[in-house]
């Protein structure tokens, strides 16, 4: 009873397997993401589909008892749907070649015509994404037409789309009736013929659904990447104006009392800004960050004089390690602003680094006034300086970093950061 319909189930399973295998190819996935294609890209898409579905025709002609393997008609139609007339026509011709070599010449115009039909359906779509929204269920499409939306062009297309697929199957049945038992997957009795029409609908829908799922995954990955870049850019843009604002305040306080020192600060500030404007990388060598801190502190020393001291204990094997750009400056600025500025006798800022098990350890500490326990509990979530650094590290490293703060009122503050070692070729986020 079920024997005439088993080949149809085999065809659906084979189509799902082919679509899943193609979806694993990065090259094929990149083609699926394109809505408009050049001639070369259309030819490339035609070649991909022709090889796969042409092989299915070859299996059928080499084994006449295994007609369920022949997905040439569906492949030609899908090629037209994805790539347009050129891709559909060329794919139909190439897919039919194994059958033509065995004397089944009528299959070439059938597959070529179906490929062109797929291109026509693509042109009728009101938008590039409508092809991927195809449903083989007529009742759902009819419901959409009358109840689902006021966009009748869109809902009408989803009625025309399955009708076009059924037309392609009708052409196959017509050719099969003219050349019975000579290569065309043809059902002579009405129940089997109806089953073939239904199977063809689902044979076209299955790869579209699988590939649409692949496209959506790629889009989500791309959106996540863009979101990370946008967050990082926003966080970085918070740092530079914050630093600039404080420096200009220092300059303005010196303009009347010591114009010469004000000019020196402006020159040093211009050096720092030139470096900031010329750097677009998210990471830079630690030696560059330390050099930047020295320039920054040379400006701050003008404000504080001998009250501000700076010490470093940097391991040589860490100087070329990559760190997020502008990582240290907000921490040093916080030490000056909140730790040392209100301390009459001033104090010292120390930066230490060492390397351990392919991880970089950074320490920024001061002997300033310290932070109260209540404020310390919310320091990573509020403000611009420390919380900004923590957020950037979270964006860049996820769970692969550590940052912790120790502080005692009247004794000073210690900020420690631990990040994984990065290779130069892996440091670009964008």
Q: Which domains does the chain have, with CATH numbers?
A: 3-223 (no CATH), 255-426 (3.30.565.10)
% of the chain residues with pLDDT over 70: 83
Residue 151, pLDDT score: 62
Q: 263: pLDDT confidence band, cut at 50, 70 and 90?
A: confident
Phi then psi for residue 218, to 5 deg, are -65, -40
DSSP string for residues in 243-276: HHHHHHHHHHHHTTT-HHHHHHHHHHHHHHHHHH
How many Å separate Cα 363 from the centre of its chain? 34
Lowest mean pLDDT among 9-18, 64-73, 251-260: 64-73
CA 123, 128, 134 angle in degrees (round to 5)?
Answer: 85
pLDDT at residue 220, as a whole number: 80
Provide the pLDDT for residue 118: 93
Burial class (CB in 10 A: 0-12, 13-18, 19+), 294: exposed
| DSSP β-ladder status, 359-366 and 347-356 | antiparallel
Q: Is the pLDDT of residue 114 over 90?
A: yes
Entry field: residues in the chain = 430
Degrees, nearest 5: CA angle 226-229-231? 110
Q: What is the pLDDT of residue 430?
A: 40
42 vs 377: which has the higher pLDDT: 42
pLDDT confidence of 145, banded at 50, 70, 90? low
Q: Is 38 exposed, middle or buried (0-12, 13-18, 19+ CB in 10 A)?
A: exposed
CB 363 within 8 Å of CB 335: no
Predicted TM-score of the model (pTM): 0.60
What does the pLDDT average to over 346-350?
Answer: 89
Q: Strand 347-356 and strand 308-314: pairing?
A: parallel
Q: What is the pLDDT of residues 267-324, one digit of tens each?
A: 888 877 776 666 556 788 999 889 888 888 887 777 677 788 889 999 999 999 999 8
**pLDDT given at position 423:** 61
How far apart are the C-alpha atoms of 355 and 421, rounded to whole Å? 9
Q: Which tokens sit at 375?
A: 């404020």
**Cβ pair 251, 263 in contact under 8 A:** no
User: In this predicted model, what pLDDT tens digit does every residue of 151-191 receive, in sequence order?
Assistant: 677 778 878 888 999 999 888 888 877 775 555 666 667 77
Q: Could you list the beta-strand ranges (E) of 330-411.
A: 347-356, 359-366, 402-408
Residue 311's Cβ-side half-sphere holds a number of Cα atoms within 13 Å equal to 10
- At residue 186, the pLDDT reads 64
Q: For residues 32, 38, 41 and 47, what is the CA-based torsion angle, rounded to 10 degrees?
A: 110
Phi, psi for residue 349 in degrees, rounded to 5: -110, 130
pLDDT, greater one: 261 or 208: 208
Q: Are strands 283-285 and 402-408 parallel, antiparallel or unpaired?
A: unpaired
pLDDT beyond 90 at 74:
yes
Residue-level pLDDT at 302:
72
Whether the CA torsion 183, 115, 52, 69 is positive or negative: it is negative
Give residue 218's pLDDT band: very low, low, confident or very high (50, 70, 90).
Answer: confident
For residues 231 and 373, the model is more confident at: 373
8 touches 70 (CB < 8 A): no
Q: Helix (H, G, I), strand (E, B), or coil: what is residue 63? A: coil
HSE-up (13 A, CA, CB side) for residue 6: 6
> Reduced to 3 states, what is the DSSP secondary structure of residue 103?
coil
- At residue 140, the pLDDT reads 60
Asked whether residue 426 carries a pLDDT value surpassing 50, the answer given is: no
Say how far apart CA 47 and CA 79 lie, in whole Å: 10
Q: How does 228-266 read in b/e, with b if 16+ C-beta sit within 10 Å?
A: eeeebeebbebbeebbeeebeebbeebeeeeeeebebbb
Give the list of residues 6+ apart from residue 75 with CB closer than 8 angstroms, or none.
Answer: 49, 50, 52, 53, 54, 56, 91, 95
Q: Which among 295, 325, 334 has a CA at the least distance from the CA of 413?
A: 334
Phi-psi region at 257: left, alpha or beta (left = phi > 0; alpha = psi -120 to 50): alpha
pLDDT at site 191: 79
Check pLDDT > 90 for residue 91.
yes
Helix (H) or strand (E) holding 172: helix 152-178
């Amino acid at each position: 009873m079920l024997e005439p319909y088993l080949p149809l189930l085999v065809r659906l399973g084979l189509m799902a397997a082919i679509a899943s295998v193609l979806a694993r190819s990065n090259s094929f996935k990149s083609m699926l993401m394109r809505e408009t294609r050049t001639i070369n890209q259309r030819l490339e898409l035609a070649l991909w589909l022709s090889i796969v579905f042409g092989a299915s025709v070859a299996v059928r002609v080499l084994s006449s008892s295994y007609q369920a393997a022949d997905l040439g008609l569906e492949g030609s139609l899908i090629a037209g749907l994805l790539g347009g007339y050129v891709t559909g026509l060329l794919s139909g011709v190439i897919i039919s070649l194994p059958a033509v070599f065995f004397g089944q010449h009528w299959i070439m115009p059938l597959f070529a015509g179906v490929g062109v039909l797929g291109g026509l359906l693509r042109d009728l779509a009101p938008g590039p994404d409508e092809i991927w929204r195809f449903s083989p269920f007529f009742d759902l499409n009819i419901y959409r037409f009358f109840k689902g939306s006021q966009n009748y062009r869109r809902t009408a297309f989803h009625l025309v789309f399955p009708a076009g697929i059924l037309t392609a199957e009708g052409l196959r049945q017509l050719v099969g009736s003219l050349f019975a038992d000579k290569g065309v997957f043809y059902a002579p009795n009405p129940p089997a013929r109806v089953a073939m029409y239904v199977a063809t609908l689902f044979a076209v829908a299955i790869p579209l659904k699988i590939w649409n799922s692949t496209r959506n995954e790629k889009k989500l990955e791309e959106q996540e990447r863009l979101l990370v870049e946008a967050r990082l850019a926003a966080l970085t843009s918070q740092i530079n104006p914050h630093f600039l604002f404080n420096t200009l305040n220092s300059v303005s306080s010196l303009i009347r009392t010591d114009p010469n020192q004000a000019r020196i600060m402006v020159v040093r500030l211009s050096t720092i800004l030139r470096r900031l404007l010329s750097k677009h990388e998210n990471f830079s060598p630690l030696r560059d960050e330390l050099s930047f801190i020295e320039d920054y502190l040379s400006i701050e020393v003008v404000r504080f004089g001998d009250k501000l001291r700076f010490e470093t204990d940097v391991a040589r094997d860490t100087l070329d390690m990559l760190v997020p750009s502008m990582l240290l400056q907000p921490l040093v600025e916080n030490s000056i602003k909140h730790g040392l500025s209100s301390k009459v006798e001033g104090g010292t800022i120390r930066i230490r680094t060492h390397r351990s098990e392919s991880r970089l350890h950074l320490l920024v500490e001061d002997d300033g006034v310290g932070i109260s326990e209540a404020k310390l509990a919310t320091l990573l979530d509020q403000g611009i300086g420390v919380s900004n650094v923590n957020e950037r590290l979270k964006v860049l490293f996820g769970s692969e970093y550590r940052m912790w703060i120790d502080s005692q009122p009247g004794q000073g503050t210690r900020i420690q950061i631990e990040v994984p070692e990065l290779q130069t070729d892996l440091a670009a986020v964008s």
